Structure 1
Amino acid sequence: MPQSSFPHANWRTSSYTGEQGACVELASLASTVAVRDTKNRPGPMIQVERAAFAAFVREAKTGKYDL
């Protein structure tokens, strides 16, 4: 979805950027969470339903997606 669809979104940068500066930004929208790449702010973003995003965060905290 184009960034211009949400001109007033309040983007927040992740508090953990890793050693290589790989980072995402999040914006809380009406019924979803938008995610974009900090290094490509005008580029594409994805929208995820709040419940699905919360489930992902819970699982990520357990280490489920660690490589």
Structure 2
Amino acid sequence: MTVPHSPDNWRKSAYSGQDTNCVEVGRIPDGAAVRDTKDRSAGYFTTTGSQWSAFIDAVKSERFG
């Protein structure tokens, strides 16, 4: 996937608190970018909006249990 703009508005879950062993999600046009908080310089991967929605739905319905 080609990303025309760099991700912005990086954020992590409020449940993470000060923990640095988690991931952050950033916005891209029509999708999301995900990176590791332990090594932000390693880069990130991207998803389309529909892929991200499917992932969030799977998490909410506990399909990864």
TM range (shorter): 0.7 to 0.9
- C-alpha distance after superposition, 1:6-59 (max 9, x if no partner): 2x6221112333xx7531101111122000011111112100001111111111
1:1-67 equivalences under 5 Å are 6=6, 9-17=8-16, 21-66=20-65
Cα distance in 1, alignment partners of residues 14 and 53 from structure 2 = 17
Tell me, what secondary structure is at the counterpart of 1:39? coil
Cα distance in 2, alignment partners of residues 41 and 33 from structure 1 = 15
Query: Which runs of no fewer than 5 residues in structure 1 stay unpaired?
Result: none
With structure 1 as the length reference, what TM-score do the two structures score? 0.72
Q: Which amino acid aligns with 2:24?
A: E
Equivalent residues, number: 60
Alpha-carbon RMSD across the aligned residues, in angstroms, is 2.2
Tell me, what secondary structure is at the counterpart of 2:29? coil
